[in-house]
Amino acid sequence: MKSIDEISEQAWAAISPHLSGKAGDVGRTGTDNRLFLNAVFWVARHGCAWRALPARFGKHDTLRKRSRRWAQKGIWQRLFEALQEPDLDWVMLDSTVVRAHAQAAGSRKKAASATKASAAAAVG
């Protein structure tokens, strides 16, 4: 059974083409990129130190060094750029053309008098 800490098939299909160390790439083939990314995401999700990684991910020091090498080579940056959502600035509204009600800016309503003048005249 798949853990919630593992990358989904859909996410892996989007990520894997952008990783180096695949079969057919020049140089050494990466040792289980998916397991490595699962480990990195586990550390990020749980906000813990590398040494707290469960043993199923492998040696924590090896994983930490590999993550650092990826950062130095720009692999993380390349992944983030390749996988980021499209630029949606064109859909943003400019606040200079959107008018808000005065109360939306924090102004208070004028206090209504406690009794109406006509009601006070009728009583007295």
Helix, strand or coil for residue 7?
coil
Report yes or no on 92 lying in a domain. no
Task: Tell me the per-residue pLDDT of 7-62, one tens digit each, with 9 for 90 and over.
Answer: 888 888 888 888 866 566 555 556 688 899 999 989 988 888 999 999 999 999 99
Task: Tell me the per-residue pLDDT of 104-122, one tens digit each, with 9 for 90 and over.
Answer: 667 666 666 555 566 656 6
Report yes or no on 69 lying in a domain. yes
pLDDT, residue 17, reads 83
Domain count, the chain: 1
Q: pTM, whole model, 2 decimals?
A: 0.60
Report yes or no on 71 lying in a domain. yes
Report yes or no on 39 lying in a domain. yes
Q: Would you list the DSSP string of 47-102?
A: T--GGGS-GGG--HHHHHHHHHHHHHHTHHHHHHHHHSPPP-GGGPPPTTS----G
Contact of 25 with 18, CB cutoff 8 Å: no
CA distances from 28 to 21, 51, 56 (A): 6, 26, 23
Contact of 35 with 16, CB cutoff 8 Å: no
Q: Is the pLDDT of residue 1 over 50?
A: no
Report yes or no on 37 lying in a domain. yes
* Range 81-106 average pLDDT: 67
* Range 62-85 average pLDDT: 88
Report yes or no on 58 lying in a domain. yes
Identify the domain containing residue 65 by its residue range: 1-11+30-86
